[in-house]
Amino acid sequence: MGWLWAIIVGFVLGLLAKLILPGRQHSPLWLTTLMGLIGGIIGNAIARSIGIAETRGIDWGRHGLQLAAVVVLVFLGEMVYTSMKGRRRERA
């Protein structure tokens, strides 16, 4: 059940990152979900390293770090996806 929850959280974080980033993103939903999943893991690791992984109540610091990591990853993933898509068009 932990993996299913991680995928759902990755999906939600990825969608939030797409809403935060300006302009239209062209990356597919599976890539956004994957970036959300990886960013969530990175955000958790950063939160754990600075000592805010688990607090009483809602872990706003951890969630903020997760979202920040996902925004960066979705931005970078969008750049790579767009450049790869452009290369395929040039070859055809």
* CB crowding 13-34: b at 16 or more within 10 Å, else e: bbbbbbeeeeeebebeeebbbb
Kindly state the percentage of the chain with pLDDT values over 90. 48
pTM, to two decimals: 0.84
Q: Are 44 and 53 in contact (CB under 8 A)?
A: yes
Would you say residue 85 has pLDDT above 90?
A: no
Q: Mean pLDDT across the stretch 58-77?
A: 91
Q: What is the pLDDT at residue 88?
A: 67
Q: What is the pLDDT of residue 81?
A: 92
Q: What is the structure's pLDDT at 62? A: 86
CA distances from 53 to 6, 39, 58 (A): 16, 15, 11
Mean pLDDT of the chain: 86
